[in-house]
Amino acid sequence: MSNWTRWVIRLCFVAYGLTFASWASRIPQIKGALHLTDGELGRLLFAMPVGQLISLQFSGRIAVHFGSHRVMPLALCAYALVLPCLGMARAPWQLALGLLLFGLCGNIGSTSLQTQGVLTEKEAGRPLMASYHGAWSLAGFLGGALGLLMTSFDISPAAHFTLVAALVVALVPWGKRFLIVSIRPASSVKRRFDPGLLVLGLMGFCTMGMEGCMFDWSGVYFREVVHAPRHLSALGYTSFMVTTALGRFTGDRVIGRFGRVRVLQIGGLLASSGFVCSVLFPSLLPAILSFVLIGIGVCNIMPSVYSLAGQSRPEDPSNALASVGQISFLGFLLGPPLIGEISSRLGLPAAFLVIACLGLLVPGLARRVKL
């Protein structure tokens, strides 16, 4: 395996992160353009994780049958090309359909990309997944900053998203030749219930619920609760993503020093504390620091979950990743719309307190992880 392979996989994580962050950074503007309430937005956001959940039923099998090195580039192109459609939506049903396709394409590619990450860890003989997810988070920061810039200059989401899609699609023809050829498992016998994967999936469920809250509601929270100026509405999301990126780039060393269980336990507690602080101190600077705390907490949970899942079935990492992903993405599926429903009745701060409870479950689950 060449160094180019690791760099290309990092760039693919960047491409996925930039694409998603571009959408997340413009949610407040799209919400306003379509005249949506919190509850209506929450129900529409439900479409993307539904697409992800549907694709998880077959994404692992597709990666195994055709090879993750073939599936991922095609799915990445499709993911990027759906993005401009979200900015062009002129009715709620159009946005819902676009989000469904966005989630479907994104998760098919993500399963194959995570498989590529596990394969490089195996060949390198050392942890790499945290740095890969760090590249995704760095792209999230860049995407948030780009969204902030585009909003400041009153550039439409459609034009913004078209630019991002063009950049991502241009990467694929050059990068796909460096991917690792994944070999189909010799045996297709399915394993029975695996409690280890269930624990990992439940931890992923809690974490994806918290991350989903940041992705979909951080901008709205800053705009409607913190009352940040319009041009600073993406600042909360950006502060969360840059902290998450920095934490992941150092995550492999931190995990090596303190162990995965301790990192998972402390991470869950820090993330939960960040949500609580954002509710107790809803002004600009304290809210930014609270979102930083959430980023520090969640940064190394999902990389560890995916890495442990792939290692648990070295002969068939794609299906193991898909199994854990099915449970994890339920958190992404239920979290954002749950926030919308609670917010419409009790307010957005109360919804954030509910999500904080997910962080408290992670330490207990981490104790059951078998390394």
Q: Which of 72-86, 137-151, 228-242, 301-315 has the highest mean pLDDT?
A: 72-86
Confidence of residue 39 (pLDDT cuts 50, 70, 90): confident
Residue with the larger pLDDT of the pair 333 and 189: 333
Closest CA to 198 of 330, 336, 338, 65: 330
Residue with the larger pLDDT of the pair 124 and 226: 226
Burial of 44 (0-12, 13-18, 19+ CB in 10 A): buried
- What is the number of other CB atoms lying within 10 angstroms of the CB of residue 10? 20
Core vs surface per residue 159-180: b (16+ CB within 10 A) or e: ebbbbbbeebbebbeebbebbb
Residue found under tokens 């909003």: 151
Note if the pTM is more than 0.85: no
Asked if pLDDT for residue 189 goes beyond 50, the answer is no
Q: Please tell me the distance from the alpha carbon of residue 371 to that of residue 362, in angstroms, as a whole number.
A: 16
Residue found under tokens 């709620």: 92
Residue with the larger pLDDT of the pair 318 and 356: 356
Asked if pLDDT for residue 188 goes beyond 70, the answer is no
Q: Please tell me the distance from the alpha carbon of residue 333 to that of residue 335, in angstroms, as a whole number.
A: 6
* Domains detected in the chain: 3-180+193-366 (1.20.1250.20)
Mean pLDDT to the nearest integer, 97-122? 90
pLDDT tens digits, one per residue of 24-36: 889 989 998 999 9
Confidence of residue 12 (pLDDT cuts 50, 70, 90): very high
Asked if pLDDT for residue 124 goes beyond 90, the answer is no
Give the pLDDT score at 130.
Answer: 87
Q: Where are the alpha helices (DSSP H) in the chain?
A: 3-25, 27-33, 38-45, 47-55, 59-66, 68-88, 92-124, 129-152, 157-175, 195-224, 235-249, 251-258, 260-280, 284-298, 301-312, 317-346, 348-366
Give the pLDDT score at 316.
Answer: 73
Would you say 288 and 235 are in contact if contact means Cβ atoms under 8 Å apart?
yes
Asked if pLDDT for residue 190 goes beyond 70, the answer is no
Mean pLDDT to the nearest integer, 108-127? 85
